[in-house]
Structure formats: C-alpha cells, structure tokens
A and B are shown apart, each in its own frame.
Chain A
C-alpha cells in the first residue's frame, strides 16, 4: 500500500525535529518567527507520528515500520528502527508534549530564543530516537545524546543554581550509562551484532557463550543506567535539583519523557534480554520501588516549593511503574505502561501550570501563594483538573494505570499491593494539601490580587493535556488494546507467571 511511507516514517518522525533545529541555526534572529517555526516543526512531527497509530496492526507481534540498513561495517552497526505497541505510545507522548512545550515557552524564554528552540527540537529527536531504535548501539547513541541538550537547557535557561543542577544531572546519568555501555560491548563481543532482535534470539537459543556467568552483571549494568534515569530510590537525588532549576519546557520533557526512558529500558532490555535475572532480582527491585512510592510521597508532602512537590511526586509515580514492570503480570505491565503515559500527560501539565505561575510571580515557594483561586479562577480550574488526574481520580488517566499496577502487584505478592496502595492515598494527601495551600482561603499576599489569569496561548497549551487526561481515563481501551498484545509478547518468557488480562 504505502509501503514507502511505512519504511520511512520512523526516520521522518525521528529526524524532522533535528532537521528543523538545524534550519533554525541559519534563521535570522527574529524571535517571533523562530517560535512559529519551532511550533510548525513540532506540530508536523506530531501529525506524522499519528500515522504510526493509524496504520498499526495490533495483532502483529513483530516490530512495525522497520527499517534496517547497514551503517558501519566494523563494528557491525545497523540503522535499525522499529516500534511496537510499547514504544509507539512513548513516541507519541514525546511528539504530543513538544508542541505544548513550544507554546508554554513562548514568552517565558525571551533571551537566546534561537538557541532554546534549537536545543528543544534536537532534544525531541534524541528522545524519539531512544524509543524507535532497535540497534543497541543506535539506542545508546540516542540515549547519551539526550544528555547534552537537556543539560544545556537546564544550565542556560534555568533559574537559581542552574549550573550545579545541570552538571549534577549530566554526571549522574552519564556515569550510570557507562555501565550500560560496558554491558552492550560485552554482548556485542559475544554475539557479533548490536541488533536487539538478533541478540534476543541468540540469548533465548542459548547460543551466547559464557552468558550464564555474565548475566547477573549484564543485568545490573543495564539496570543501573535505567534506575538512575527513572529515578529509582536511592538514585533519585539529581531529580529535584534538575526539576527545580530547569525551565518549564525542560521540566515537562524531563518528567514527561526522559524519566520514561528508564522504565522503557527496563521493560525492553532488562525484561527482554534477561528474563531469568529479572525474576531473580525482582524482590529487591520491588522493595526499592515501594520505598520510592512511599518515600517520594512523604517527602513531597513537606516540600515548601511547588516544583519540588511535583518532582517528588514523580519519584512516587515512577515507583508504581517499576513495581508494575517487576510484577511480571499482564495487568501489572499494562498498568506500568499506562502510568508512564498518564504521568507524562498529567505531570507535564502540572509543570506547565507551575511554569505559568512562575512567569507571573518568579517564585515557586508555596508560602508566597495562597488564595490564588480568587484572582485566577481559570488557572485554578485547570490546576484542579490535572492535579486530580495525577492523584488518580476515577475517570481520569491516573486511576486506570495505578489500578492495573496494583492489581498486578497483588497477584505477584499481596504485600506489594498493600504497600503500593497506600501510595495512592499519600498522593491524594500531598497534592490536595498543596492545592489547598496555593488556591484556597483568602489571598494572603497583597500583590497576588492582581495576578492575571490564563492567556489564550496558555489555555491552548493546557487544553490538550486536560483532554488527553480525560480521554485516557474514560476510554483507556483505545490505548490498552494496542498495549496489551505487545506486553503479551514481551511476557512470553514469563508465561508461567502471566495471569489473565484484567477486564476479561
């Protein structure tokens, strides 16, 4: 049919943002034009990425839209891309959030506008590349190349201790991914290929020499790189710093997509390549995830800073994802992926909202707010809606994922479920309490009386997240129908553990 487009589509979706970024390089420094151009590029990418959904055959177990060309002969590196029901949604999440990031940065970035949008678009390419590459080397390349634009976004356009935050973010994640590189090189040395499918088949067929002894180390090598990115307790300390100092768009992509690179990696590589090791290590990983859920929530509760609350809530929510992944149940993994998407939408929305407030008040301190519902009713409504999505109110997106994760966790071990379920309560506590302190009561600071409400542009950026949050909550099957078969394929090695699909 349109087989040409099917082969080229992933290349297009991945590289159009970067190509747009390079074009911006030679653009005249007219800020308005640059913003519009960046918006067009990101919308075009989003439009193209819809092609992925439209032509997806949910029962096809192989990767979709594959393209496989030799890139470098020694070492044997291929340009191999493809998506399945797992990665496609993450690509879509990225392309969905980027135009919103452009919109939300419209006014807040007024110096070095050109550099900002170049970095943002290059970052989008790297993020999409992480999810689309099926060659481990290509994956590693995209993985590392997210670091530079992100660190620069934080370091140049951030606030406060931005340089400290940028360097901490860079070194933390870079050092961790060196271990993944070591594991990659080991696999390459034994298998002779970086191709994910080839390596997976070789491992499953038991053709990799010395695999049994090396597997625990390889598993850890991958896991460490991903755990820092997620971030799993106790590797989370870079996250609050990076978030608080990052510009709004940086926070949105950081929380919305970058963290998911870690959980996606666990799902794809740790589970995909090392099923035995995954099961073997699951207990302590689940415990770390549970600690993350509870600890993240408790710390979030006492933060005096709006962005820190949201940042720690990410630690807590991503704990759910890890818990779901290492429950090895159909429901748990479906839920994990759903939480990843839902968290991307709702936390992205929350960070945008926090950024809107920062543009007006130049602070994130909760103590400087109070009673904001009076001067900014629309803002308060949006905030309430997206916050409730994040809390996990039924009919909004947070609920579906967390419910699935918890039901999967119960099947794996009822204690996981019990402790994990408290996380839902905690998140209601810290988010609602934060909401109350920011919006309810009398206006405590006189200057807050005159805060302007949302502008049309800001509403334009917020409506899509609100609609997506609602749609995902009301009709989760639209997503789960595609997720479910992909997860089933991923879980084949765990067949004996897999349980019934929730909802049947």
Chain B
C-alpha cells in the first residue's frame, strides 16, 4: 500500500465543503433517534422545531461552505457558485416545506419522526447532487434523494392512493436510476473516467466514441425521469395525486432542481455529445404534453402535476441553448419555479383539509371571498406560473426564451411561446373559479396557522422579488454559469469577473 495514500487524510477544509450535508444528516438522525422517545402528541411540535433548526443551521453553514471554494475528497466534490446556488435553493425549499408541514401533519394525523427525518436526509442527497462532480457519487446522492422521496410519497398511510403512488414511483424510479447507472458505466467504458471534468477533457480532445452517445442517452433517460420530462413523465400525475400535498410541492421543486443541477453538470460541464436533438425533442414534447394534459384536469394536484411537466419542458429549452446562456437561465428558472410552486402547494395542502378531501377545482369556488389571503397568495403564484410581469415566472421564461433566441432556436422558442399562451388558460381557470364562482358553503377553510403564514410570506416575497429585481440572482447565476462552463477559471464561490451575457449593441 502506498504511503502517500495513507497520509492523504482529507484536510479540515474538505469537511467544511460538505458542511451543510453534515449538518442536515446530524439533525436528521437526531430526529429519528428522538422519535421513539417522545409520545405522539409532543413529537409533532418538537420534532418539527428540531427539523426547522436543522435547515436554518444548514443554511448558515452554506455560508461557511461558500467561503472555502474548491475541490474536496479527491476531486469528488466541487464547491463553486453553482453548487452554492443549488444548496441555498434546496435548503430554502426544505425550510419552507417544514413550515408548511407543521400543521398539515396534525390535521392529517401523520407521525412526525420519520417524516422530518426523511425530509432532512433527502435534502442531503439533493445538496450533494449539486456539488458532486464524480458520477458515482452523483449516483449515490441521487439514490439518497430518491429513496427518501419514495417513502415520503406514501406517507398518507391510511389511503390506498398514497401507497399506490409510492409504489408506482418506486418501481419506475428504480428503473430510471438503473438507466442512469448503466449510462455511468458506459461513460466510464467510453472515456475511462467517472470524473465529470476528466470526461469533458476526453470528449473534447479525441474523436468521440459511439459508446459515449449511448451513455449520454441512458443518463438522460434517468435524469429525464427525475425532472418529469416527456416522454418519461407518465408517472407524474398519479404520483402527485396520491402523495401528501406539501411533499408534492417539495418533490416538484427540490429534487427536480437537484436533478437539473446534475443535468447541467453532465450536459454542459462534461460537454455531452449528441445532446441537441435529444433535448430539443424532449423539451418540445414536455411543454406540449404537459400543457395539453393540464387543460382537462379537474383535480388541482393533477393539474399542477401536468403544469410541472410543462415547466420542466421550458427549462429543457435552455439546455438546447449555448452553455453559458442556458445554465444561467435554468438556474434562474429553478429558483423562481421553486418559489411559486412551493407556495402554490402550500395553499393547496392547507386547503385540502383532513384526508385531503378538497382538491378538485369545484372546491375552490368562492375561495376568494372566504379566505382572501389564501386566495390572493394562490392567485399571485398562478399569475407567476402563467408568466405575467413583475412575478418571477415572467423573467424565468424571459431568460429561457431569450437564451434560446440568442442560440437561434427559433422553432423551439415559438413552440414555447405558444405553450405559455396555452398554459395561461388552465391557470386562469383556477383564478376564475376562486373569484368568480359562488362559494360552496360546505367546504370549510381553517384559519391560517403561523407556520403556513410565514411560509407563504417567504414564497410570495421571493416570487415578487425575482419579478421586480431579478438582477442580483441573475448576476450570480451568470457568474456561476461561466465557472461551470469553463472549469479552468479559478474556483471561487464569489466570482468578480463580470459576465455580459446579453451583450448590448451600440
């Protein structure tokens, strides 16, 4: 055994670089251990508070992580602007999820221990997905994230539909991860490495082996499933319908953002070959199938499921664009989509009431009158999902489509714009029902508890902030994108070089 290897104990800085993951794991395990010690009544509140403390600590530790950019653990983890961005995003979503769940758990009578534990551990996987630059580690992170989401999906144990969705998600999901792993193996065969940067060097230098194309396609299948992109989207409506509503808000944003992060690494940092038509087709299909499917839905959860397929499609449009433009557009999109979708599901989950009885469009009739705050918040989230100015959704679409136009993807942009117009219809339908139909008195609305109120205010503020002053977030995304695409630039989490992406003619 080589002496050098033994001496090669990771330095302390390496642990700082995965500090948020460590913090989240510790809190997750503490919750799991405490759960059997507390009685059920108490555990709801206490464990929720611990979970919240965990995410907040993790959020703070992200700051520490960001202060020490660079590689860790033998080049398996890379801390740069990109990974910091997705860490903050995932942990913020988790925080809001815990705030939302706080009261949902009591109403639905769900045992809290495993729930909060799994959420935190799932977040570990998602965080790791965004900073891992080693395909095997990415795979492990993907599995951590996926397995906890499979279980969380089936958490409404008393309902067959929830178990059904969990099983469906699990079976199809494992199948998809297998594809991904297969792709990793073939990529190793084609390039002799599992490190994203090394793969990139190999693929750029020599003639690209056919095997790499196959590997890329297989990996895309696996990740496409995770982000619910067509044609790997079939599971989405069923799973979303059965899963607990706050979890749907979570899984339609956090794991999706993480999977997009991986996709960005694989596609752009590794400069994947032959991706263009693959992504073009998938983007066009996702947008069209998602929006058309959503048009005929009566169940809000199913409707938002189809809408999430469509939004995955919009994000994929950016993947077909040139790397720098595409990456920053996807990052911005992921952030604003998270804000509005988590918020929308927070309202849906509160309104659904015990046993999630009220989830059809009919039930929302007259909500505007009975619960002005809830209806107003949902209205703003929906307006943002349509993509109307001064909401984050507008600039998200704007950046994606202008990135596409700059890359001369006129056809895809036209498909996207037509789809956005189509999408306006079903989101509006909800607003119309909320404000313009007479209320059905038998649908009760519980008063808004503190946790949910805070969650809604955070998501509303984020949605509006991204719509009014998108500059800062976009700036950060653009700088991170530059780093991602040119990994040779000195790794610094807070780059100073100014990237003028949308160049201005004189």
Q: Which of A72, A115, A144, A155 makes the CB contact (< 8 A) with B388?
A: A144
**Are the C-beta atoms of A152 and B435 separated by less than 8 Å?**
yes
A148 and B388 contacting across the interface, CB-CB below 8 Å = yes
Residue of B nearest to A75 (CB): B502
Q: A163-B437, A167-B432, A174-B421 are in contact. Are A189 and B369 (CB under 8 A)?
A: no
**Cα–Cα distance between A115 and B503 once the two chains are bound (Å):** 43
Cα–Cα distance between A162 and B437 once the two chains are bound (Å)? 10
Q: Is the CB of A191 within 8 A of B390?
A: no
Q: Is the CB of A163 within 8 A of B432?
A: yes
B316 surroundings in chain A (CB, below 8 A): none
Asked if B475 is at the interface of the complex by the 8 Å CB criterion, the answer is yes
In the complex, per-residue mask of A123-156: 1 if CB is within 8 Å of any chain B CB, else 0? 0000000000000000011001100100010011
Q: Taking CB as reference atom, which chain B residue is nearest A158?
A: B436
Q: In the complex where A72-B470, A148-B383, A185-B405 touch, is A170 in contact with B428 (Cβ < 8 A)?
A: yes
Interface size on A, residues (CB 8 A): 32
Contacts A72-B471, A155-B436, A167-B432 hold; do A112 and B369 have CB atoms under 8 A apart?
yes
**Chain B 469-483 residues near chain A, CB threshold 8 A:** 469-471, 474-475, 478
Given contacts A72-B471, A75-B402, A190-B505, contact A163 B388 (CB under 8 A): no
Q: Counting CB contacts under 8 A, is B504 at the interface?
A: yes
A141 and B389 contacting across the interface, CB-CB below 8 Å: yes
- What are the residues of chain B within 8 A of A73 when measuring CB–CB? 471, 475
- Residues 393-442 of B at the A interface (beta carbon under 8 Å): 398, 401-402, 405-406, 417, 420-421, 424-425, 428, 432, 435-437
Contact with A along B350-380 (1 / 0, CB 8 A): 0000000000000000001100100000000
Contact call B504/A156, Cβ cutoff below 8 A: no
- At the interface, yes or no: B501 with Cβ under 8 Å from chain A? yes
Instruction: Tell me how many residue pairs across A and B have CB atoms closer than 8 Å.
Output: 69
Pairwise interchain contact A178-B502, C-beta atoms closer than 8 A: no
A174:B424 contact, CB within 8 angstroms: yes
Query: B502 to chain A: which residues have CB within 8 Å?
Result: 74-76
What separation, in Å, do the CA atoms of A144 and B394 have in the docked complex?
Answer: 12
Q: Is the CB of A162 within 8 A of B501?
A: no
Specify which chain A residues have a CB less than 8 angstroms from the CB of B424 in the assembled complex: 171, 174
Q: CA–CA, A115 to B502, complex, Å?
A: 41
Q: Which of A74, A163, A182, A193 contacts B478 (CB 8 A)?
A: A74
**Chain A, residue nearest B395 (CB):** A72
Q: A145 contacts which of B389, B425, B474, B505 (Cβ < 8 Å)?
A: B389
Report the bound CA distance from A177 to B112 in whole Å. Answer: 49
Please tell me if the beta carbons of B436 and A162 are within 8 angstroms of each other in the complex. Answer: yes
Pairwise interchain contact A178-B417, C-beta atoms closer than 8 A: yes
Interface size class of B (residues with CB under 8 A): 35 or more
Which residues from B are CB-within-8-Å of A182?
417
Q: How far is the CB of A118 from chain B (nearest CB, A)?
A: 10
Whether A74 lies near B388 (C-beta < 8 A) is: no
Asked if A47 is at the interface of the complex by the 8 Å CB criterion, the answer is no
Interface code B138-180, partner A: CB below 8 Å = 1, 0 otherwise?
0000000000000000000000000000000000000000000
A192 at the interface (CB under 8 A from B): yes
Say yes or no: is A175 at the interface (Cβ < 8 Å to chain B). Answer: yes
CB of A434 within 8 Å of the partner chain:
no
Q: Report chain A residues within 8 Å CB of B420.
A: 178
Is there contact, CB below 8 Å, between A166 and B432?
Answer: yes
Nearest CB on B from A171, distance (A): 7
- Complex partner residue of B390 from A75, A145, A190, CB under 8 angstroms: A145
Q: Which residues of B contact A191 (CB under 8 A)?
A: 505
Set of chain B residues within 8 Å of A75, measured between Cβ atoms: 398, 402, 502
A window 412-471: CB within 8 A of B: none
Instruction: Specify which chain B residues have a CB less than 8 angstroms from the CB of A72 in the assembled complex.
Output: 469-471
- Whether B435 and A178, one on each chain, are in contact in the complex, defined by CB atoms closer than 8 angstroms, is no
Return A214 CB to nearest CB of chain B, in Å: 12
Q: How far is the CA of A167 from the CA of B426 in the complex (A)?
A: 11
Would A74 and B417 be within 8 Å (CB), given that A155-B432, A156-B435 are in contact?
Answer: no
User: What's the minimum C-beta distance from A79 to chain B, rounded to whole angstroms?
Assistant: 11
B457 CB to nearest A CB, Å? 14
Q: Is the CB of B389 within 8 A of A189?
A: no
Question: What is the minimal beta-carbon distance from A245 to any residue of chain B, in angstroms?
Answer: 11
If A74-B475, A74-B478, A171-B424 touch, does A192 touch B435 (CB 8 Å cutoff)?
A: no
Tell me the minimal C-beta distance from B420 to chain A in angstroms: 8
* Nearest B residue (CB) for A167: B432
- Complex contacts, B503 vs chain A, CB 8 Å: 192
CA distance in complex: A499, B470 (Å): 48
Complex Cα gap A4–B163 (Å)? 66
Give Cα A185 to B402, complex, Å.
8
List the A side residues contacting B470 at CB < 8 Å. Answer: 72
Q: How far is the CB of B165 from chain A (nearest CB, A)?
A: 33
> Once bound together, how far apart are the Cα atoms of A362 and B503, in whole Å?
59
Q: Indicate if the CB atoms of B390 and A141 lie closer than 8 Å.
A: yes
CB interface residues, A 188-217, toward B, < 8 Å: 189-193, 207
Contact of A144 among B389, B435, B471, B475 (CB under 8 A): B389
A166 touches B388 (CB 8 A): no
A217 to B475, CA, bound (A): 33
10 contacts between A and B (CB under 8 A): A72-B470, A73-B475, A74-B471, A74-B502, A163-B437, A174-B424, A175-B421, A185-B402, A191-B505, A192-B503
Q: Which residues of A contact B (CB under 8 A)?
A: 72-76, 112, 115, 140-141, 144-145, 148, 152, 155-156, 162-163, 166-167, 170-171, 174-175, 178, 182, 185, 189-193, 207
Q: Which 4 A-B pairs have the closest CB atoms?
A: A192-B504, A192-B505, A155-B436, A141-B389
